[in-house]
């Protein structure tokens, strides 16, 4: 019997739980999420204190979109199955894209190599050994033409993971579309274009933060006029999480980055409702199932409220947070790699239950190398099994109303808001980055997690538990040096055959635009049309703005 | 005897520094003196950092696949600077077929994903010696 002063949960603990615990006590491991968040044994209606169901949870398609942005969930349209791929030469990657499209992939996603990501041509000293290794090498428009050979840009949507040289690569895509006679107004896809998370986590920056932010607002302005269906930015928590952040830190830093871009756009004179609807997000799907689901739900609510209340956005398209998800590369193990198929399936399921709009599932061999075609196909099949066999796509937000999930959603939101406040006090995200705040928070979390693994507080199957010593080696995709040789030869050839006066002239115009305040996209498009290389365009901007170097901290 | 001095370096264009930073902290907590060079160091910069810092150990973190270019160049440079006795270890994503070649040119320890931090600490303690300045 419940006494007057106790809740039903307390009564249950006393009457039912206590005798059970006396017979069988808890296991000795800490009951925490992978982020170290303590989890209670049981959640009941009492845990919904402070949550107003109609205000905070609401219904799908309704503000604040905690339950999803689409009233129809996945019944109208499944998420986009978008597999990130790229390696070697544009010719090789073009083949892989055609394979993925034939296998039922519904969008393309380009992985570039490090020289391209860092704005260096294959003949630069720092490109030594890196050409085509972690993605496809794209040096000039000629490579982009090859990459999309036989693929109609008006019929696919393409996501491109490119940040510092995003404007140049996007311009190449637009010029390829132009040559295919596709209408820019109809083109759809995404450029990652999120420089803040580069400074915070992935570290593929070139220019200092402030001119980098200007390129981004120039892209916002250009696209709102010329390429209105293009997603101009994919504000990314993925890399923040991979660098070691907790789920709440991923949520907080990503959303706060988003707010920073909106502030810079508004300060550049843009109307919120003109550019915010084209902003999208990109989250990690890590291994702690419910914590991830809560993270996606909290993200939608935080964004909707911030857009309406902080920035006065009037359009519901500005309020709705759309996001891509990728399963956690960092969770994959080199040991017993087939276990990774299971990890990825669970992570993908959390993204789907959290209402992702598109999804990439990692391949089982990615702790060892870039994936083989077979491994990449199996990863796509994982999504198709979830979509068509598991039944989870039949119902909108199946976990809505779960005491546990709603409590966790609210806790994640509160933690993110506390970080927002700290970063606001520093003057904003650019200022926080300049003083190394998010970087240090993440490094702390990464080290704490590694220590938990060493202590076996966290078990990673096949690594610190259930270890197997007689593992057969796995066949991997080995990328040799031929891509580098091919790309170097093509570059030399290009430099002989293009109109070098036009290259010089367009690069000079780009330099003067960078020194002034004109939008950078038109001069970049002209340089691309003249077959200026990524390295040449970035060097032109390096001369004006200099290069960013972070202070090494451990 | 003075503490072991370790230069942790991240060569190449890659910026994924989680591994380098975690190991740097682990070695520091294990009582070593750790100098982290930061990102995108050329083999030349790493060799001169080792010389200037009077390093006993160089730890490289390479995930991008550029190890077959970076490691041989660094080993040549170390020899030419008379730093042959500096212990060189490498952590990252290294295909199995490349490991014998790397060992042959003098990379003593190669640590793949999933290696416990303590194993790396133990390996360094067993194989490095403080160089007499």
Taking only the tens place, the pLDDT of each residue in A465-521 is 999 988 888 899 888 889 999 999 999 999 999 999 999 999 999 999 999 999 999
pLDDT band at residue A118 under the 50/70/90 scheme = very high
pLDDT of residue B108 exceeding 70: yes
Alpha helices for A148-208 (secondary structure H): 166-179, 195-197
Provide, as residue numbers in chain B, all residues whose Cβ is less than 8 Å from the Cβ of A329: none
Average pLDDT for A311-328: 98
Inter-chain CB proximity B24 and A479 less than 8 Å? no
Which pair of structure tokens corresponds to residue A180? Answer: 């295919």
- Cis geometry, peptide bond prior to residue A68 (ω within 30 degrees of 0): no
Provide, as residue numbers in chain B, all residues whose Cβ is less than 8 Å from the Cβ of A330: 18
Residue to mutate among A250, A334, A447, with most B CBs inside 10 A, is A447
Which pair of structure tokens corresponds to residue A88? Answer: 């070697």
* Percentage with pLDDT > 90 across chain B: 92
Rounded to 10 degrees, the C-alpha dihedral A531/A537/A540/A546 comes to -170
pLDDT at A103: 85
Inter-chain CB proximity B38 and A120 less than 8 Å? no
pLDDT at A533: 98
Q: Are B92 and B62 in contact (CB under 8 A)?
A: yes
Q: Tell me, yes or no, if B31 comes closer than 8 A to chain A by beta carbon.
A: no
Higher pLDDT, A552 or A341: A341
Chain mean pLDDT for chain A: 96
| Three-class secondary structure of residue A473 per DSSP | coil
d(CA B73, CA A288): 42
pLDDT of residue A92 exceeding 60: yes
Cβ neighbors of A297 (< 8 A, separation 6 or more) are: A66, A67, A354, A355, A405, A409
φ, ψ of residue A246 to 5 degrees: the values are -75, 170
Domain range summary for chain A, segments of one domain joined by +: 53-65+74-455
Q: Tell me, yes or no, if B38 comes closer than 8 A to chain A by beta carbon.
A: yes
Output the 3-class SS for A315-372.
Answer: CHHHHCCCEEEEECHHHCCCCCCCHHHHHHHHHHHHHHHCCCCEEECCCCCCCCCCCC
Q: Are A154 and A183 in contact (CB under 8 A)?
A: yes
- DSSP letters of A78-144? PPEEEEEE--BSHHHHHHHHHHHHHTT--EEEEEBPHHHHTT--TTSGGGTTTTTTSSB---SHHHH
The model carries a pTM of: 0.95
Inter-chain CB proximity B12 and A114 less than 8 Å? yes
Which pair of structure tokens corresponds to residue A434? Answer: 């300049």
Beta strands B5-9 and A358-360, pairing class: unpaired
pLDDT band at residue A95 under the 50/70/90 scheme = very high
Tokens 């490095």, located at residue: B128
Closest Cα in chain A to B62: A130
Please name the member of A125, A243, A454 whose beta carbon is closest to the beta carbon of B18: A243
* Count of beta carbons in the 10 Å neighbourhood of residue A415: 19
Average pLDDT for A323-346: 97
d(CA A522, CA A533): 16
The closest alpha carbon to A531, from A123, A137, A116, A145, belongs to A145
Q: What's the Cα-to-Cα distance from A459 to each of B21, B91, B122, rounded to whole Å?
A: 22, 22, 22
d(CA A389, CA A444): 41
d(CA A418, CA A405): 20
Q: Tell me, yes or no, if B112 comes closer than 8 A to chain A by beta carbon.
A: yes
The closest alpha carbon to A477, from A159, A81, A242, A135, belongs to A135
| Three-class secondary structure of residue A341 per DSSP | helix
pLDDT at B132: 60
**In CATH, A53-65+74-455 is 2.30.40.10:** no
Would you say how long chain A is, in residues? 554
pLDDT band at residue A551 under the 50/70/90 scheme = confident
Q: What is the DSSP letter of B34?
A: E
d(CA A228, CA B67): 43
pLDDT band at residue A106 under the 50/70/90 scheme = confident
- DSSP letters of A259-284? HHHHHHHHHTT--HHHHGGGEEEEEE
Q: Which of A82-86, A173-177, A182-186, A412-416 has the lowest mean pLDDT?
A: A82-86
Which pair of structure tokens corresponds to residue A74? Answer: 């996945």
Which pair of structure tokens corresponds to residue A441? Answer: 């928070």
Edge to edge, what strands does the sheet with A233-236 contain? A230-231, A189-191, A158-161, A107-111, A80-85, A358-360, A323-327, A279-285, A233-236
pLDDT at A12: 96
pLDDT band at residue A400 under the 50/70/90 scheme = very high
pLDDT of residue B131 exceeding 70: no
* Percentage with pLDDT > 70 across chain A: 100
ipTM for the predicted complex: 0.94
φ, ψ of residue A262 to 5 degrees: the values are -65, -45
Q: Tell me, yes or no, if A478 comes closer than 8 A to chain B by beta carbon.
A: yes
Provide, as residue numbers in chain B, all residues whose Cβ is less than 8 Å from the Cβ of A137: none
d(CA A366, CA A348): 16
Beta strands B87-92 and B109-111, pairing class: parallel
Inter-chain CB proximity A243 and B93 less than 8 Å? no
Average pLDDT for A109-129: 94
φ, ψ of residue A112 to 5 degrees: the values are -95, 160
Beta strands B33-36 and B57-62, pairing class: unpaired
Inter-chain CB proximity A129 and B14 less than 8 Å? no
Q: Tell me, yes or no, if B100 comes closer than 8 A to chain A by beta carbon.
A: no
Q: What is the DSSP letter of A20?
A: H
Q: Tell me, yes or no, if A268 comes closer than 8 A to chain B by beta carbon.
A: no
d(CA A90, CA A86): 8
Inter-chain CB proximity A454 and B116 less than 8 Å? yes
Element spanning A482, H or E = helix A482-497
Q: What's the Cα-to-Cα distance from A24 to each of A30, A39, A42, rounded to whole Å?
A: 16, 19, 16
The C-alpha angle with vertex A190 and arms to A184 and A57, in degrees rounded to 5, equals 125
pLDDT at A82: 86
Provide, as residue numbers in chain A, all residues whose Cβ is less than 8 Å from the Cβ of B12: 114, 126, 129-130
pLDDT of residue B133 exceeding 60: no
Render pLDDT for A160-217 as a digit per residue (tens, 0 to 9). Answer: 999 999 999 999 999 999 999 999 999 999 999 999 999 999 999 999 999 999 999 9
Render pLDDT for A14-68 as a digit per residue (tens, 0 to 9). Answer: 999 999 999 999 998 889 999 999 999 999 999 999 999 999 999 999 999 999 9
* Percentage with pLDDT > 90 across chain A: 91
Provide, as residue numbers in chain A, all residues whose Cβ is less than 8 Å from the Cβ of B21: 443, 446-447, 554
| Three-class secondary structure of residue A487 per DSSP | helix
């Amino acid at each position: 019997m419940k006494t007057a002063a106790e809740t039903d949960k307390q009564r249950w603990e006393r009457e039912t739980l206590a005798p059970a615990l006396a017979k069988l006590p808890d296991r000795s491991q800490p009951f925490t999420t992978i982020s170290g968040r303590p989890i209670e044994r049981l959640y009941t209606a009492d845990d919904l204190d402070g949550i107003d169901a109609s205000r905070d949870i609401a219904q799908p398609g309704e503000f604040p979109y905690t339950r999803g942005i689409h009233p129809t969930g996945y019944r109208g349209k499944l998420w986009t199955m978008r597999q990130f791929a790229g390696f070697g030469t544009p010719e090789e990657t073009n083949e892989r894209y055609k394979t993925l499209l034939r296998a039922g992939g519904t969008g393309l996603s380009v992985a570039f190599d490090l020289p391209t990501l860092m704005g260096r041509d294959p003949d630069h000293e720092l490109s030594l050994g890196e050409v085509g290794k972690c993605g496809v090498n794209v040096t000039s428009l000629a490579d982009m033409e090859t990459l999309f050979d036989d693929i109609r840009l008006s019929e696919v949507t393409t996501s491109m993971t490119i940040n510092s040289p995003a404007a140049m690569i996007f311009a190449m895509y637009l010029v390829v579309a132009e040559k295919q006679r596709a209408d820019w107004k109809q083109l759809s896809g995404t450029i990652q274009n999120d420089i803040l998370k580069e400074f915070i986590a992935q570290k593929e920056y070139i220019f200092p933060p402030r001119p980098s932010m200007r390129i981004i607002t120039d892209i916002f302005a250009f696209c709102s006029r010329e390429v209105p269906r293009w997603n101009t930015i994919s504000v990314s928590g993925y890399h923040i999480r991979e660098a070691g952040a907790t789920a709440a830190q991923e949520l907080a830093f990503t959303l706060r980055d988003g707010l920073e871009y909106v502030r810079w756009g508004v300060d550049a004179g843009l109307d919120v409702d003109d550019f915010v609807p084209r902003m999208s997000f990109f989250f990690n799907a890590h291994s702690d199932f419910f914590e991830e689901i809560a993270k996606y739900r909290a993200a939608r609510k935080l964004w909707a409220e911030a857009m309406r209340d902080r920035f006065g956005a009037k359009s519901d398209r500005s309020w709705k947070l759309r996001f891509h998800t990728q399963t956690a590369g960092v969770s994959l193990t080199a040991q017993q790699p087939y276990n990774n198929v299971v990890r990825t399936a669970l992570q993908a399921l959390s993204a789907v239950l959290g209402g992702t709009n598109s999804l990439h599932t990692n391949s089982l061999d990615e702790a060892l190398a870039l994936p083989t075609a077979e491994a990449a196909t199996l990863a796509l099949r994982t999504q198709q099994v979830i979509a068509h066999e598991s039944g989870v796509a039949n119902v909108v937000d199946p976990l809505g109303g779960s005491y546990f999930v709603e409590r966790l959603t609210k806790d994640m939101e509160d933690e993110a808001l506390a970080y927002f406040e700290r970063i606001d006090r520093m003057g904003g995200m650019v200022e926080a980055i300049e003083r190394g705040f998010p970087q240090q928070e993440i490094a702390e979390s990464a080290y704490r997690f590694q220590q938990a693994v060493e202590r076996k507080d966290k078990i990673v199957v096949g690594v610190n538990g259930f270890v197997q010593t007689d593992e057969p080696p796995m066949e991997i995709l080995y990328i040799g040096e031929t891509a580098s040789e091919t790309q170097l030869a093509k570059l030399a050839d290009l430099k002989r055959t293009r109109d070098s006066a036009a290259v010089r002239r367009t690069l000079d115009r780009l330099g003067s635009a960078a020194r002034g305040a004109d939008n950078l996209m038109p001069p970049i498009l002209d340089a691309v049309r003249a077959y200026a290389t990524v390295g040449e365009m970035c060097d032109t901007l390096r001369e004006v703005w200099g290069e960013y170097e972070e202070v090494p901290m451990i | 005897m003075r503490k072991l001095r370790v230069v942790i370096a991240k060569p190449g264009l890659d910026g994924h520094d989680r591994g380098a930073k975690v190991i740097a902290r682990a070695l520091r907590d294990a009582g070593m003196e750790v100098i982290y060079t930061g990102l995108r160091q050329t083999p030349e910069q790493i060799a001169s950092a080792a010389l200037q810092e009077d390093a006993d150990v160089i730890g490289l973190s390479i995930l991008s696949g550029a190890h077959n270019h970076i490691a041989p160049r660094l080993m040549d440079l170390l020899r030419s600077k008379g730093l042959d006795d500096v212990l060189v270890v490498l952590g990252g994503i290294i295909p199995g077929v490349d490991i014998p070649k790397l060992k042959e040119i003098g990379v003593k320890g190669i640590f793949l994903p999933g290696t416990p931090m303590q194993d790396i600490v133990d390996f360094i303690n067993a194989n490095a010696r403080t160089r007499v300045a």
